[in-house]
Chain A
Amino acid sequence: MDQPIWLTFLVAFIFMNVLLVGMAYMTWYERKVLAAMQDRVGPNRTGPKGLLQPIADGIKLLGKEDLIPAHADKVVFYFAPLVVFVVAITRVAVIPFGNTITVFGHPVNLWVTDLNVGALFLLAFGSLGVYGIILGGYASANRYSLLGGLRSAAQVVSYEIILGLSLVGIFLLSSSLSIRTIMEQQMRDLTFALGPLTLTLPNWFILSQPLAFVIFFLAAVAETNRAPFDLPEAETELVSGFHTEYSAFRFSFYFLGEYINMIVVSLFAAVMFLGGIDGPGADRFWGMGILWLLLKVVLFLFFYIWLRGTLPRFRYDQLMGIAWKVLLPLVLVNILITALIRLIGNGQLSF
């Protein structure tokens, strides 16, 4: 790294704060959009258009009584929500928000780190997030929480496999696991030629890997325990699943951790499939790049909320059946086809 460490820390600090504010206002966004879909208004009393609602919610949750069940495993009870929260925020460290810009004459990288296994880092920390769920269910000394935690962990682990496999097609096409490299490759041109007619589009991987994109998004929705895959934490099922016994701010760690996971996964999808900062004007001014990225993230978040507002939830065995019997074969077929096309393109496949 050529950049001084304190500058990287500053950039990371800024990203983290933006993410936390974004997470808080994601709750506002969800309530407003869900309300619009359900033909009602949503929060509009706290501040103009309800914009102070997340702050009010935060104050309320801070002031609630913090209960710990008598037989709970106190240390694990304390740490489990923190695991979810911390692991989710750490994932932002590998997502690039732009290229190198010059601020007051100094070059500043608009990313925290460019690991050459960046995509695997995101998947690895996603796997670690399961511990928050499973240990939260265990530490509550409540059999409903335990069952909810086990169910949720089984769901997350299954869909995590599919999430990872859906990205293998991209890794095959880009020959790299580094997220910045994948994003840069999407800024090149993809030419469709049919005789004299040619169509030049940016090389966004949603065009070369449409099936993988759909599977990735479905797996992402299931991975973040969102509707319609939210049976483990639905209010009508097992009381409230693994976070039954968590009250006040501990519950908000789970709740906000879920929203951060949603934002991070949307960032991941935007960077891997939709080109990240790619868009008209991004190469001239760095702010446009960030704007395009945020637009794509908001699009995905809207999609998340749209799914929540529209579809009924899946029963647990239907959920697992979809993962193992439908999505897994599809994603393996996608890898096979991508590999074949890559070999044919390289001229390495001969019959």
Chain B
Amino acid sequence: MAWNVIFFYLLAAVSVLAAIGMVAAKNPVHSAIFLVLTLFNTAGIFVMLGAEFLAAAQVIVYAGAVLVLMLFFLMLVDPERLPERGGGHPVQRIVGPLLGVILFLEVAAAIANRAMFGSLGNATPENIAFVGGSTQAVGNLLFTQFLLPFEVVSLVLLIGVVGAIVLALPERLGERLGTISLGHPRGTDMALPEGPSTAAPITRADEKATAALESTREIILVRDPDLYTGVGSRKSDVGRE
């Protein structure tokens, strides 16, 4: 048995098992961990195909950044509040798995048949070695033939970043409930005026939203937490609408 056959089957087996685990896991964080495993093993398969740059990019971008960000919000999900398994519309519960099984049978038939051929592209190992490696080949293509999609993708990412910043602007801190504080608001270089009059008023919407939280502690929505050193009642210093 050649080594690369063994490696391939090992990587493929772990990929498939991790993918199954990702779908079957009850806890969303476990799903994310299984997805990391799948992506890592797929990157291994990419290396075996001779696409080392793609493998490294997959690990750096997908496993190392995108999944970390997904874990950020998945960790803040309360496992008891997830929809229960087996719930949902009866039609969905039947048609979904049925379509999955049909797809699986199609792919299995295609693999077993082996009569499907594509045409050999021009990225043969000799061509790639001629250019100097897979990194150079990808770079050449990306900056000549696929330049427009490259720029469009960077624009899309820019829109995402701008959107994230707009959604998290500090002025709206008072309207956010249950924000995880990742830094003191006074640390930002916005100059907010001092005084209790700048406290964010608790609106009826806030009350409705916090009523469901079943907490017996005071929830004080303020802009400058340092002004509220005593845990007094909500009615002091805070305007109401």
Contacts and interface: CB of A to CB of B under 8 A. Distances in A.
Interface of A: 73, 76, 115-117, 120-121, 123-128, 130-131, 134-135, 137-138, 146-147, 149-151, 153-154, 157, 160, 164, 177, 315-318, 320
12 contacts: A115-B52, A120-B53, A120-B60, A123-B60, A127-B60, A127-B63, A130-B68, A131-B33, A131-B36, A150-B72, A150-B75, A316-B182
A46 B178 CA distance: 50
A127 B65 contact: yes
Contacts of B184: 315, 317
A121 B75 contact: no
Contacts of B64: 124, 126-128, 130, 157, 160
A121 B56 contact: yes
B72 A153 contact: yes
B60 A177 contact: no
B52 A128 contact: no
Nearest to A161: B65
Interface string B73-88: 0011000000000000
Contacts of A125: 59
Nearest to A178: B133
A119 to B, nearest CB: 9
Interface string B172-214: 0000000010111001100000000000000000000000000
B183 A128 contact: no
Contacts of A127: 59-60, 63-65, 68
B56 A117 contact: yes
A116 B182 contact: no
Contacts of B187: 315-318
B56 A315 contact: no
Interface in B103-154: 133, 135
B68 A153 contact: yes
Contacts of B69: 157
B27 A73 contact: yes
A102 to B, nearest CB: 27
Contacts of A135: 29, 33, 71
B59 A124 contact: yes
B57 interface: yes
Contacts of A134: 68, 71-72, 75
Contact of B135 (A117, A128, A151, A160): A117
Contacts of A131: 33, 36, 68, 71
A317 B183 contact: yes
A243 to B, nearest CB: 16
B226 to A, nearest CB: 14
Contacts of A115: 52
A128 B76 CA distance: 21
Contact of A146 (B60, B75, B133): B75
Nearest to B133: A116
Contacts of A73: 27, 29
Given A123-B60, A317-B184, 9 more contacts: A76-B33, A120-B53, A121-B56, A127-B65, A137-B75, A150-B180, A154-B182, A177-B135, A315-B183
Contacts of B183: 315-317, 320
A147 B133 CA distance: 43
Contacts of A126: 64
A317 B75 contact: no
A63 to B, nearest CB: 31
A266 B52 CA distance: 25
B52 A157 contact: no
Top 5 closest pairs, chain A to chain B, by CB: A127-B64, A317-B183, A120-B56, A124-B59, A317-B187
Contacts of B72: 134, 150, 153-154
A127 B39 CA distance: 13
A225 to B, nearest CB: 15
Contacts of B75: 134, 137-138, 146, 149-150
Contacts of B182: 150-151, 154, 316-317, 320
B40 to A, nearest CB: 8
A93 to B, nearest CB: 14
A316 B63 CA distance: 25
A92 B102 CA distance: 46
A177 B55 CA distance: 14
Given A115-B52, A146-B75, A320-B183, A128 B59 contact: yes
B60 A76 contact: no
A177 B132 CA distance: 11
A219 to B, nearest CB: 15
Given A116-B135, A124-B59, A147 B68 contact: no
Contacts of B55: 117
